[in-house]
Structure 1
Amino acid sequence: MNKKGIILKGVVFVFFTAALWWLLGSSARMESSYYEVPRLNCDCPPGFKLNENNECIAQNLYMAYTTNNDPGVGGLKTALPEIRDGFSPQQIDLGRYLFFDPVLSKDGTISCATCHDPKKGFSDGLAASIGMNGHELTRSAPSLWNVGYLKLLFWDGRAKSLEEQMKGPLFSEEEMANTPENLLKTLNGIKNYRMLFAEAFPGREKDNEITLDEIYKAITAFEASLISLNSKYDRYAHGYPQALNEKEIEGLNVFRSFVARCAECHTPPLFTNQQIAVIGSPEPDGKPLDPGAEVPYNDTTMRGGFKVPSLRNIEKTAPYMHSGNFATLRETVQFYTDGRGHAVPENETLRVHWHIWEPELTGYELDRLVDFLKTLTDESFIPEEPASLPSGLSNTNHNS
């Protein structure tokens, strides 16, 4: 072979080798770049401590107290009810991705965060939330702060667990409009999610199909981690009297007084007694009475009854009531002093809760009540929104 032939063969060999290595490297780069989200967090969120079983267990100062007070009293040093905890950090972090990912909806436009926006107290700032295709729903979106402590979910109290509750919006035609079959097909078709689920549920193989129970558990884990227990009120309750100013303390005294009776339903420290109450809250003009808990409980005495909401971060979740009928806290507290059943339609006979009466609070007292309610604001443990989502979709909130 002449010299030119040898050189030509060498050039071809080098070119072929370089091309082969480029193709192999490209393939490796494509495979690695497919996993676009970081590994799941190995640390518990604030308010939880990791135990030897890789479980996040709730930790707060209220755990030092016992619940000796009768239900409805709720002193400053009263214990909290039992919380849903014991989830792994990885399950909580996976739930965070799912919560913000619109891939959970039928058409990829609505996420859990659409109606439960952390920037709006985990509500959405609307009197009536908006579902699929702009459909206006019948009630406002409750806040999710401290939801891990709650035993009744939805305004009408029809769900008894977070897993049961989330099936409502996920599979409602008016809300996220998905189906269990389509949800599984979608998530199992996303390699990022298959890898994340394998990481969060290590007892399974990476190639195993994602299950509905795993989806529900991960979202529950995240929602139960949303803790708000470090407000000005909490610091005052734990023995730091300077945490509240004079007007806020006056408001606390009104709140706990037998005249106003606020604390008998909005029982500290969770600021709800977790019961259904008929208070005769009005509907917006032109809308019929919402039967509330009468429907799921099939009980006419509960007509117009709704779950007593927690007042934690209430400053952030306007408008107020199940119907979003009151734009401000001042309007809301005014309702309670305007007279028992004053807003009940003439053609309705409701069994209004006995705590609702005519306290005849002054304007000054109502203003102090509002001052106190604002001391329940605490977003120090607000979770970080994902910078990118495993589905590749945009983390957007169409209600904004």
Structure 2
Amino acid sequence: MLFASFSDARASDKSDFSLKQHCPPSFEKNAKGHCMLRTMYEFYDSVQNRGVGGTQTSLPDHRDGFTPAQIDLGRFLFFDPLLSKDGSLSCASCHQPDKGFSDDLDRSVGITGEKVTRSAPTLWNVAFLDKFFWDGRADTLEEQAVGPLFDPKEMGNNPQQLLASLRENSVYPGMFKQAFPQSHQIEIAQIATALTAFQTSLISLNSRYDQYAHGFHDALNENEIKGLNIFRSFVARCAECHQPPLFTNSQIAVIGTPEPEGLPFDPGAQVPFNDKRMRGGFKVPTLRNIAKTAPYMHSGGMGSLKEAAEFYTKGRGHAIPEREELLIHWHIWEPNLTDEELDRIVDFLHTLSDESLAPQIPEVLPSGLPAVDAKFAARKQRQKNLSGDKPMPLSSKNNKQMASSINNQQQDNVKEVSGDIYE
């Protein structure tokens, strides 16, 4: 069988894989042994009582309540390439901790070595979301977690092979028993639960902005405060969709971002929702750790924060292809921000970086495989070289300057990829 060549752990000492019994930082174990999130924001009023975009606004409902063992099992699964068809690709291959749980490609590379349709969104603070994937097609983290596993263009696996690989591994059955003591064997639902549990532990709420929001005003400098004020102003209107404290409203919005030339128009949320009004619509992404997740937009068509911010001031619908008629979100208009104002917004966006609760990457995996297989690293480097060598102009009316900027950024980003991309 295909999985037999990489399903046995080279690290045979099963005691090395005892799952943690304590909750991750910022979580408190309750009387039932479940990890419950604790943040300063729980002391504030709701959005309804404080108004949209206030610095001291409470967080929405979120997923927590998993056991420490379930979270830790999910951590091992997340980083283990055993979950892919050929053992070359893990969840972390496209959601890399040092890149804001995204990657540095315009569109991620799947198991076939080809780019997939869209860029990899960050996983920070997904516990607070109720829609997943760029087009919002998944309603739960469990549904989102298994989607890439069985997508032939992403991790390329199937339920039968995945279960066989894990069940025949010398370590994983014992780990699943620790996390799910009432279960007799590994099931797909447990895999989804463990991956969900781990993802809900990825909390980023201790940035310099958060310190400012909690009352420490020296956390931001003068330019960053100016940027925050512009961001929240009725002129720029950034905060109407990117609402603090999560800096997203979790809604689908049609803003008219262009596609790279040569690619068909992406209908986005129109497909899963079967609604023409949502054509070209995508989920409003969080801006948490946004400085780490370039390039930007659903197709990775914008290489810098300045370029992404400038898109919104170039005119409503300026990048819509000529034969498309989109229902642009009413928040999108022409604020005519100056270059200095755009720079101040970028200054502010950098204050949203916080990786203080980043999880520990396992030094050894139950499969014995490396966290990122050399085969995958080579595929990714090949795609980066192709992107750097060939400009990808955007299919908009005024695209020459934007395309040049993107190409220069891509060329600057081309660098050697070692066997371990987390170094």
Q: TM-score, normalised by structure 2?
A: 0.85
- Cα offset, 1:218, TM superposition: 0.6
Aligned to 2:175: 196
Structure 2 counterpart of 1:285, from 219, 241, 261: 261
Task: Say what the alpha-carbon RMSD is for the aligned residues.
Answer: 1.7
Q: Does residue 44 of the first structure (1) align with residue 20 of the second (2)?
A: no
Q: Does residue 350 of the first structure (1) align with residue 329 of the second (2)?
A: no
1:72–1:267 Cα contact (<8 Å) kept: no
- Cα offset, 1:203, TM superposition: 2.3
2:17–2:171 Cα contact (<8 Å) kept: no
2:17–2:366 Cα contact (<8 Å) kept: no
Q: Distance in 1 between matches of 2:17 and 2:169?
A: 15
Aligned to 2:277: 301
Unaligned runs of 5+ in 1: 1-29
1:37–1:389 Cα contact (<8 Å) kept: no
Aligned to 1:80: 59
Structure 2 counterpart of 1:177, from 124, 146, 156: 156
Aligned to 1:15: none
Q: Give the secondary-structure state (helix, strand or coil) at the position aligned to 1:217.
A: helix
- Cα offset, 1:387, TM superposition: 0.4
Aligned to 1:10: none
- Structure 1 residue runs of 4+, over 4 Å off? none
Aligned to 1:64: 43
Q: Give the secondary-structure state (helix, strand or coil) at the position aligned to 1:197.
A: helix
Q: Distance in 1 between matches of 2:294 and 2:47?
A: 34
1:72–1:265 Cα contact (<8 Å) kept: no
- Percent of counterpart pairs with the same letter? 59
Letter paired with 2:114: H
- Cα offset, 1:74, TM superposition: 2.2
Aligned to 2:117: 138
Provide the aligned length of Structure 1 versus Structure 2: 368
Q: Does residue 115 of the first structure (1) align with residue 91 of the second (2)?
A: no
Q: Does residue 218 of the first structure (1) align with residue 194 of the second (2)?
A: yes
Structure 1 counterpart of 2:217, from 220, 225, 241: 241
Q: Does residue 376 of the first structure (1) align with residue 352 of the second (2)?
A: yes
Q: Distance in 2 between matches of 1:191 and 1:78?
A: 48
Q: Give the secondary-structure state (helix, strand or coil) at the position aligned to 2:41.
A: helix
Q: TM-score, normalised by structure 1?
A: 0.89
- Cα offset, 1:396, TM superposition: 1.2
Unaligned runs of 5+ in 2: 1-8, 381-416, 418-423
Q: Distance in 1 between matches of 2:253 and 2:169?
A: 44
Q: Give the secondary-structure state (helix, strand or coil) at the position aligned to 1:132.
A: coil
Structure 1 counterpart of 2:34, from 49, 55, 61: 55
Q: Distance in 1 between matches of 2:15 and 2:182?
A: 23
Q: Give the secondary-structure state (helix, strand or coil) at the position aligned to 2:197.
A: helix
Q: Does residue 162 of the first structure (1) align with residue 141 of the second (2)?
A: yes
- Cα offset, 1:54, TM superposition: 1.1
- Cα offset, 1:132, TM superposition: 1.1
Deviations 1:333-371 (CA, angstroms, capped at 9, x unpaired)? 000000000000111110001111110000000000000
1:71–1:273 Cα contact (<8 Å) kept: no
Aligned to 1:99: 78
1:36–1:390 Cα contact (<8 Å) kept: no
Deviations 1:105-152 (CA, angstroms, capped at 9, x unpaired)? 011111000110001100011101000120210100000000111100
Aligned to 2:338: 362
Q: Give the secondary-structure state (helix, strand or coil) at the position aligned to 2:253.
A: strand
Letter paired with 1:49: E
Deviations 1:274-307 (CA, angstroms, capped at 9, x unpaired)? 1000000111122221100011111111000000
Q: Give the secondary-structure state (helix, strand or coil) at the position aligned to 2:118.
A: coil
Larger Rg computed on CA atoms: 1
Q: Distance in 1 between matches of 2:218 and 2:351?
A: 13
Q: 1:322 to 1:71 in 2, by over 3 A?
A: farther
Aligned to 2:387: none
- Cα offset, 1:191, TM superposition: 2.0
Q: Give the secondary-structure state (helix, strand or coil) at the position aligned to 2:16.
A: coil
Letter paired with 2:358: I
Q: 1:345 to 1:253 in 2, by over 3 A?
A: same
Q: Distance in 1 between matches of 2:47 and 2:253?
A: 24
Aligned to 2:309: 333
- Cα offset, 1:51, TM superposition: 1.2
Q: Distance in 2 between matches of 1:376 and 1:385?
A: 23
2:17–2:175 Cα contact (<8 Å) kept: no
